[in-house]
Structure 1
Amino acid sequence: MIKSSVKNIVIPFSICILMALALYPDSSLNPDTYSTKGLELDYNISEELGMVSQDHTVKYNLFTPHLGKSFEGFKEALAFKESRGNYFTVNTLGYLGKYQFGTETLKLIGIYTPNQFLYNPELQEKAFIANAERNKWVLRKDIKRFEGQKIAGVKITESGILAAAHLAGPGNVKKFLRSYGVNNLSDAYGSSVKYYMKKFSGYDTSMITPDKKARVTL
């Protein structure tokens, strides 16, 4: 009997409280009521999941992409310079895609349909590799001869040579190296062989195999 009476009192009282909260939220809710004081909270990123500074505070999340001087880093850095990484862009001179290929260069690696190339990211990635392989074969002797030297204030590295070849073609890279920086071709937008040599210096491009007959196949 007592339980029944309590139940009859508590339920209506609870309903009244809920209605009051709904009708007068601003006056009914007190932030102090919801204090976390005294609660055991442990939501910090552990040291295993973060980059920890010398004062033991978490500064960076390890899951942030960091390509560094890897080949992927080289490829993406060059793509960002060329097109901001946009597969589907065409510049004012008609150069295509993420790596800004000209139609004549595409023909050298077996691509004769620029429109198909522009809308096929997989094809563009394979074209970048094939072109780098071909350029590395053309420049193999120059890489061996000049790598590690300083020319016009720039330390010569294989990745810098391949980046400059992507910009201006391997023939113009040979001219730059063999003239010790005197012959420094620039493209229509002002980027020069020397600039690419410096900007893309020191990446790991060892996975590129020199190939005179490099072609793209899907």
Structure 2
Amino acid sequence: MKKNIAGILTVLIVIALLLTGFTTKNNVDLSHYILDDVDMQYHVPNKEESLDFTEVKPKYYLFLGKSYVGFKEALGFKESRGDYSTINQFGYLGKYQFASATLQMIGIYNPDLFLNDSRLQEEAFSAYTARNKWILRKDIKRFSGTYINGIKVTESGILAAAHLAGAGNVKKYLRSGGTIGFNDAFGTSIGYYLKKFSGYDTSFILPNKKAKVL
């Protein structure tokens, strides 16, 4: 019994010591925390002041250079500012402004499906470019590196011009030395596309006479 009482007293003493260790005095000397000659002033804006702050978002620019992706994006931006869902006043569709007849040629018969499927539009561009590259393969070999009307002819320029005017019109332009021209409904010429889209790497696209998407 005495042992139990002694044990209880020991526990009570330990608890009392612990409690006294966590007590605080009313007057605490904080002088040793003072930083001499330093003004520590802080201002936390209220709700109204916070509204005056404009969030600055970083700008990111993806540099595609003269790659094939850069070629596609540059041409898509020129055609529609990169808008997959657009239809212009002449009925041309999507980012690359395809005619319905051209889409049917590469296996696409549903314009609504085409407009709502960005991946399908990219595949359509690649297929159509492959067809044009096959049609113009001899002209690409013959005229690349030459100058017509002061413009250096390159493979990518030829393929871009074919997207604008059709491969047949580009053939006529090249083989006539630029005397047989073509302008679309907005007045854009083959020569303009030859220059604007010159020097991109389009080796990724292989010539394919029967290229289709679906």
For 1:197-208, what aligned pairs fall within 5 Å after superposition?
A: 197-208=194-205
Aligned to 1:33: 40
1:178 to 2:160 alignment: no
For 1:1-218, what aligned pairs fall within 5 Å after superposition?
A: 4=23, 6=25, 8-9=26-27, 33=40, 64-217=61-214
Scaled by the length of structure 2, the TM-score of the pair is: 0.74
**What is the distance in 2 between the residues matched to 1:119 and 1:168?**
25
Report the aligned-residue RMSD: 2.4
**What is the distance in 2 between the residues matched to 1:76 and 1:155?**
21
Aligned to 2:13: none
Q: Which has the larger radius of gyration?
A: 2
Give 5+ residue unaligned stretches, structure 1. 11-31, 36-60
Instruction: Give the CA deviation at 1:3.
Output: 8.1
**3-state SS in 1 of match to 2:40:** helix
Question: What percentage of aligned pairs have identical amino acids?
Answer: 62
Counterpart of 1:128 in structure 2: which amino acid? F
Instruction: Give the CA deviation at 1:33.
Output: 2.2
Instruction: Give the CA deviation at 1:92.
Output: 0.7
Give 5+ residue unaligned stretches, structure 2. 1-19, 29-38, 43-57
Aligned to 2:5: none
Instruction: Give the CA deviation at 1:4.
Output: 4.5
Instruction: Give the CA deviation at 1:107.
Output: 1.2
